[in-house]
Amino acid sequence: MAATEELDLFVIGAGSGGVRAARMAAQRGLRVVVAEDAPLGGTCVNLGCIPKKLYSFAAHYAEGFEESHGFGWSGAAPVLDWQALKSHRAREITRLNGIYAKLLTDAGVTVLRGRAHVVGAHEVEVDRVVYRARHILVATGGKPVTPLVEGGEFAISSNEIFDLAQFPQHLVVVGGGYIACEFASIFRGLGAQVTQLYRGEQVLRGFDDDVRHFLAAEVRKKGVDLRTQADVTRIAREAGRLRVELVGGEVLIADQVLYATGRVPNTAGLGLRELDVALSANGAVLVDEHYQTSVPSIHALGDVIDRVQLTPVALAEAMALVDHLFGADLRRVDYELIPTAVFTNPNIGTVGLSERAARERFANVRVFRTDFKPLRHTLSGSTERTMMKLVVDVDTDRVVGLHMVGQDAGEVVQGFAVAMRAGATKAVFDATVGIHPTAAEEFVTMREPVLA
């Protein structure tokens, strides 16, 4: 393809949103190029959702072996081979990289392996070659926040955590968001001593308060030393390990310190500021309802717009954008009732409003909540409990929030998210026959509201 030939769409970034947009546009017969200077698939495939979930699976086996004794199983305790886990993960990620490459080429997308810079409203430069396009899409995702603490250079981010040379016997996790909580649970399950530090009053800010408090209690039972209102003042190298000094003077000696204190949009060095593309204070690309920036020919979606940082949302935004630019313009992304999961141990699954948000939006709210020991743990010996919660708008009887902390919560909540999108009321939940014996049936058997 000649560099001077005008393309229909030039996509910067081959993560979930960029790949979906490129494929959908190319399948319409359009001329599409995507540029990427990292492994194909973006954060989700390489450094996020997929490797994290694989490690989450790995983290449950030691606990599962202990629980098996209650069911009559015996034998030598399993031992983690960290190098084998890393190798198997890397092999799977490489396979997925290949699948993404094939999806693009099979759709007719031209893939450029290099760093892209926007040099004009319709021009992108890659390896000193300038490409012209009717439309440019920025889908470059986000990156971890760099710690500002003294000695922060000794800390690692979620980018490095999957491939540490040696398994950390003591891991300090700094942060209280879902990434911090997930890795604290994962490495505790894999056998590390884990200390999690969060400067706020409770982890998982923005989630339902009952979920936050219940999860915190459960992970502490699993052995995570979760400390709230705690923070780091200094990190230093000491005798081959890390000296972590805390507010108040306490010192921890760790093998690794993971900072998971947030992510920022990956817009530095793309040339957007030079073109006066409007950005927010944290570098997010500002877009309208059609993902158009302040420069009409340039668009952006996914984590780089810092709206809802979830892979399925980026996919939905990509399809809406392609339909707007090249189709019937019928698709819209509804940011209400987006289900999500947190792969802590136990898992969190949630869709809709927290109780606090519901009370701010609706005049009359009724809450149904239960927590119980799952059937499995009546023999396993584990003290793990499951919590479920429904938030109902009394005036319409609609279920506006549904939350779960427990095994496979994400799998359970996905189905209920469909019901809520369809406008299910509490009466519909009550009329639904449960599957017995399952934990999920509790969502359709809660009858007595919590007293306000």
Q: Give the pairing type, strands 110-113 and 32-36.
A: parallel
User: Regarding the domain delimited by 152-261, which CATH topology (the fold level of the hierarchy) does it fall under?
Assistant: FAD/NAD(P)-binding domain (3.50.50)
- The residues assigned a catalytic role are 436
Whole-model pTM: value is 0.96
The pLDDT, as a whole number, for residue 451 is 83
* Fold agreement (7-143+264-326, 152-261): yes
Residues 347, 407: contact at Cβ < 8 Å?
yes
- Spatial distance between the Cα atoms of 232 and 246, rounded to a whole number of angstroms: 4
Domain 340-444 has CATH 3.30.390.30: yes
The one-character DSSP state at 425 is B
Every domain of the chain and the residues it spans: 7-143+264-326, 152-261, 340-444
User: Regarding the domain delimited by 7-143+264-326, which CATH topology (the fold level of the hierarchy) does it fall under?
Assistant: FAD/NAD(P)-binding domain (3.50.50)
Residue that is written with structure tokens 């990289």 in the block: 97
Environment class of residue 139 by beta-carbon count within 10 Å: exposed (0-12), middle (13-18) or buried (19+)?
buried
For 180: left if phi > 0, alpha if psi spans -120 to 50, otherwise beta; the answer is alpha
Written as tens digits, the pLDDT of the chain (452 aa) is: 445 679 999 999 999 999 999 999 999 999 999 999 999 999 999 999 999 999 999 999 999 999 999 999 999 999 999 999 999 999 999 999 999 999 999 999 999 999 999 999 999 999 999 999 999 999 999 999 999 999 999 999 999 999 999 999 999 999 999 999 999 999 999 999 999 999 999 999 999 999 999 999 999 999 999 999 999 999 999 999 999 999 999 999 999 999 999 999 999 999 999 999 999 999 999 999 999 999 999 999 999 999 999 999 999 999 999 999 999 999 999 999 999 999 999 999 999 999 999 999 999 999 999 999 999 999 999 999 999 999 999 999 999 999 999 999 999 999 999 999 999 999 999 999 999 999 999 999 999 999 86
Helix, strand, or coil (residue 141): coil
Per DSSP (E only), the strands in 202-342 are 225-228, 232-238, 241-246, 251-254, 256-259, 263-265, 298-300, 340-342
The pLDDT, as a whole number, for residue 452 is 66
